[in-house]
Chain A
Amino acid sequence: MNSEAPFDEVPFKYSDFTVGAPIADTKAPTGPIAERWDRRRFEAKLVNPANRRGRTVIVVGTGLAGGAAGATLAEQGYHVVQFCFQDSPRRAHSIAAQGGINAAKNYRNDGDSVRRLFYDTVKGGDFRARESNVHRLAEVSVQIIDQCVAQGVPFAREYGGLLDTRSFGGVQVSRTFYARGQTGQQLLLGAYQALSRQIAAGNVELHPRTEMLDLLVIDGRARGIVARDLVTGAVSAYLADAVVLATGGYGNVFHLSTNAKNSNATAIWRAHRRGAYFANPCFTQIHPTCIPRSGEHQAKLTLMSESLRNDGRIWVPKTVGDTRSPELIPEQERDYYLERIYPAFGNLVPRDIASRAAKNVCDEGRGVGPGGQGVYLDFADAIARMGRAAVEAKYGNLFEMYQRITAEDPYQVPMRIYPAIHYTMGGLWVDYDLQTTVPGLFAIGEANFSDHGANRLGASALMQGLGDGYFVLPATLADYLAQAPTAPVPTDHPEVTSAIVEVTDRLKRLLAVDGDRTPESFHRELGELLWDECGMARDEAGLRRALARIPQLRAEFWQRLAVPGTGEELNQTLEKANRLVDYFELAELMCLDALHRTESCGGHFRTESQTPGGEAARKDEEFGYVAAWEFTDGGAPVLHREELTFTEVHPTQRSYA
């Protein structure tokens, strides 16, 4: 098989790009930052309650953002048509979030405030987030906790009956609300229950096991989607006055990640192909405390709360190739590298620093465990200091999970950890109203790019999902609906017909290849390539290698893919293959974005841009912008810059030495 054979379906090359007009207007109101959200809400047009039931909104996804948005819009009186590919909205991947949710309640009287949460988030994002959005996020955080408590979310409590909090992710106040290690589950069940109430009341029409495969843009506006019933295979169009994408992140493009197996990029990528700009695609968060892979068979990676770094000490052998078991390595032959390199912060350096340091020692050949892709996280000192009972009380459930997966007892031998792909800060570009560049198409939660900059602080993802879904989108969407046309789209509109044909043809072609490689094998190869060349550390040569290799792999995919069965039944292999088509294109855009951004920033380390001490060197003058990419059919992508201005928090270099 000649894998370099040109493939006529490759519509463009990502090895180059052109520069388009900068983004002039983000719709953020001007004036004092603390008054902008109030002003925007006041200026927003409203829809008369009697007119709302005649307006239909499609919401794709039922996680924290989508579930909250669907429930809230239905409560307000709109007709909501909602989709999830899972069998139940309760299984969206938000359910797996462990740590907690931030809110500027200042219940601890430790100096927290909306302003401080705003400040921490802008700084944590390494000055690549939009100030107006982040301030609004901090404002609504307070309401989120009230709302969740009213729904019966069983947050941790003090004996006096008040809410407990903990500190998280290196901030200096205690603002994280939590429900043991299952905060995401409890918040999601709250949103799911609110949504279920609206489904039972007939205000939300739910389509489970149904996957969005295209966006319908008619007369320049988003007017619906094309979706496939995953059980019958039927491909249908659904029409509406507006479309909301709440489909999560695209970390699964790397194959191995902490994301649920079926999380994917198709909805946002199809929207991108229909005109929505894609912002900062290369901004990926790497989480330092995951359980390392145990072999080739591995399907996904499991994250363990980074709270373990509060008491565990991280080390590797000093000598390359030292394969003795850890208890046989004497103290003087161990390298506690974080404590050595970053004496001020030690094992508690931020996520990006800890991840990169682990990769470096493994690249030197000093990694431990199978394949040398791991470092020790050792609790021996903590057990000696606090006693086993105290360690068990604090981390017992995590130790149990580790033992279940690895069959090693972390009370006896050190845990092994390795960084893994966790969250994607990039996503569809949205303005202050969470509207994409396609009028009537909104993107919320992890599906948009907006609030975390180049690095997300712990316990902020849940905050953004619920904030967007419960409070921000319902206000801004009403403004759009009040002004948008209400004329119904005929179901036989040419755009509808052609989109259905396009989707159906693509599925047929996937089934027709009849080759000798599984979708999984392509996904693994693409993921490994991306991890090596566009993961924690990138350089120009590696990114160019990836940009040369991905089109070859894609061509091979269309020649050698094997998908048994038909399109008219539950066919999980077909679902996977179809998602891969979009991963190939997304992977190229990620590499192009990483290639053009010759600075290190947040979770993204460009090896050509470092300080003399080997730390990440940001280049604010050159790259203080959001990179918003426009898709051009047949041509190179167009880069539109949204210049970021910081009037409230002044950029400073991060240093942890």
Chain B
Amino acid sequence: MNLTLRIWRQAGPDASGALTTYQVTGISPDMSFLEMLDTLNEELILRGEQPVAFDHDCREGICGACGMVINGQAHGPERTTTCQLHMRHFQDGDVIDVEPWRSGAFPVVKDLVVDRSAFDRIIGAGGYISAPTGSAPEAHATPVPKEAADLAFEHAECIGCGACVAACPNGSAMLFTSAKVVHLNVLPQGAPERRSRARALVGAMDAEGFGGCTNTGECATACPKGIGLNAIATLNREFLLGGR
């Protein structure tokens, strides 16, 4: 396959960026999108040009590092991470736009790399169960209904990639935040901090400059792990129950 790429190049956080056009040839349909970018970068290095910076690591859809807006969609046309998107989903001769996550709360570091540390600060505000090492009771002391464990797991699957924020017209982090609240609040272990957790996480989210949620639903459509909008409904309920 031969493709035309229009890639966002930005030298640093304070530099201005622009789309730059590149041609890549001989792309195999079996390549992942990142392997296609690897190919381009190898050529750029040999030409003495700066390769395109992008975050990536595990390349099996679980670490959450990779992420870019491809033809206007977070992670591109398939509902998966960019590392698990394969070139067979594109046509020979396609023109493909590649941009970083678009959100004021995710400043661009360089090219397609953004700073998602706001997510870590949200978790630090209360996205945990306070269980210091060595203080744990016997694991079977607290039975957990299978439905609750499954529900917790389905929300704990969030990889923190930030696609939800990038897809949201408001740049809201509600899906990310709600996934963590549902994971911890449905478990009996999470119950003692249940009320304060929802308040603290929403407060941290607002402080980071993420937008508000208007139930547009783009976040759930873009989520590579299939976390649904009902998580946001649960967060809203937990938040209201929390009081002041």
Contact = CB atoms under 8 A, between A and B. Distances in A.
Interface stretch (B40-48, B92-100, B164-172): B40-48
A161 B146 contact: yes
Given A562-B45, A564-B45, A91 B63 contact: yes
Interface string B133-145: 1111111101111
Given A261-B57, A262-B57, A520-B38, A572 B51 contact: yes
Contacts of B84: 404-405
B56 A146 contact: no
B216 interface: no
Contacts of A563: 45
Contacts of A186: 153, 156
Interface in B56-102: 56-60, 62-65, 80, 84, 86, 88
A430 B80 CA distance: 41
Interface of B: 11-12, 28-32, 34-35, 38-39, 41-42, 44-46, 48-51, 53, 55-60, 62-65, 80, 84, 86, 88, 109-110, 113, 115-117, 119-121, 123-125, 127-140, 142-146, 149-150, 152-153, 156-157, 159-160, 183-184, 187, 189-190
A194 B127 CA distance: 9
Contacts, number: 216
A147 B80 contact: no
Nearest to B85: A404
A578 interface: no
B189 A564 contact: no
Interface in A134-167: 143, 145-147, 149-152, 154-163
Given A89-B120, A260-B59, A152 B157 contact: no
B153 to A, nearest CB: 4
Contact of B136 (A147, A156, A572): A147
B134 A87 contact: no
Interface stretch (A43-51, A195-203, A586-594, A629-637): A195-203
A297 B35 contact: yes
Given A90-B64, A152-B189, A404-B80, 17 more contacts: A88-B119, A88-B120, A95-B58, A105-B139, A147-B131, A147-B136, A150-B136, A154-B187, A160-B143, A197-B128, A199-B124, A208-B120, A303-B60, A407-B29, A471-B133, A569-B11, A569-B12
A569 B139 contact: no
Given A163-B139, A407-B86, A260 B189 contact: no
A470 interface: yes
Nearest to B43: A518
A157 B146 contact: yes
Contacts of B39: 297
10 tightest CB-CB pairs across the interface, nearest first? A161-B143, A200-B124, A193-B128, A150-B136, A154-B153, A150-B131, A146-B136, A154-B152, A294-B30, A157-B149
A470 B135 CA distance: 11
B120 A155 contact: no
Contacts of B41: 573
A300 B59 contact: yes
A470 B59 contact: no
Contacts of B35: 297-299
Nearest to B12: A569
B205 to A, nearest CB: 14
Contacts of B34: 299
Interface string A542-569: 0000000000000000000011110001
A408 to B, nearest CB: 11
Given A193-B129, A196-B127, A156 B140 contact: no
A298 B115 CA distance: 28
B195 to A, nearest CB: 16
Contacts of B58: 91, 93, 95-96, 260-261
A107 B139 CA distance: 11
Contacts of A90: 64, 120, 123, 160
A295 interface: yes
Contact of A208 (B32, B117, B143): B117
Contacts of B11: 569
Contacts of A155: 149
A210 to B, nearest CB: 13
Contacts of A573: 41, 45, 51
Contacts of A405: 84, 86
Contact of A564 (B50, B63, B64, B113): B50
A179 B143 CA distance: 16
A283 interface: no
Interface stretch (A68-76, A436-444, A527-535): A68-76
Contacts of B12: 569-570
Highest count of chain A CB atoms <10 Å: which of B121, B125, B152? B152
A646 B208 CA distance: 57
Contacts of A163: 139-140
A624 interface: no
Contacts of A158: 146
A71 to B, nearest CB: 7
A86 interface: yes
A145 B139 contact: yes
B38 A299 contact: yes
A146 B45 contact: no
A44 B157 CA distance: 40
Given A261-B57, A474-B133, A564-B49, A146 B121 contact: no
A196 B119 CA distance: 11
Contacts of B135: 150
A474 B58 CA distance: 29
23 contacts: A75-B132, A86-B65, A87-B116, A89-B120, A149-B139, A150-B129, A152-B128, A152-B183, A157-B150, A185-B156, A186-B156, A193-B129, A260-B58, A294-B30, A298-B35, A299-B35, A407-B29, A407-B86, A518-B45, A563-B45, A564-B45, A569-B12, A570-B53
B133 A72 contact: yes
A302 interface: yes
A180 interface: yes
A93 B129 contact: no
A72 B44 CA distance: 45
A111 B156 CA distance: 33
Contacts of A150: 129, 131, 135-137, 189
Interface string A352-364: 0000000000000
A261 B56 contact: yes
A182 interface: yes
B56 A147 contact: no
B152 A87 contact: no
Contacts of B120: 88-90, 196, 199, 208
A434 interface: no
Contact of A261 (B48, B59, B189): B59
A146 to B, nearest CB: 4
Contact of A161 (B80, B145, B184): B145
Contacts of B189: 149-152
A231 interface: yes
Nearest to B113: A570
A231 B108 CA distance: 11
B152 A260 contact: no
A364 to B, nearest CB: 26
B42 A564 contact: no
Contacts of B86: 404-405, 407
Interface in A48-97: 68, 71-72, 75, 86-91, 93, 95-96
A407 B30 CA distance: 8
Interface string A570-590: 101100000000000000000
A4 interface: no
A276 B159 CA distance: 36
A406 B32 CA distance: 10
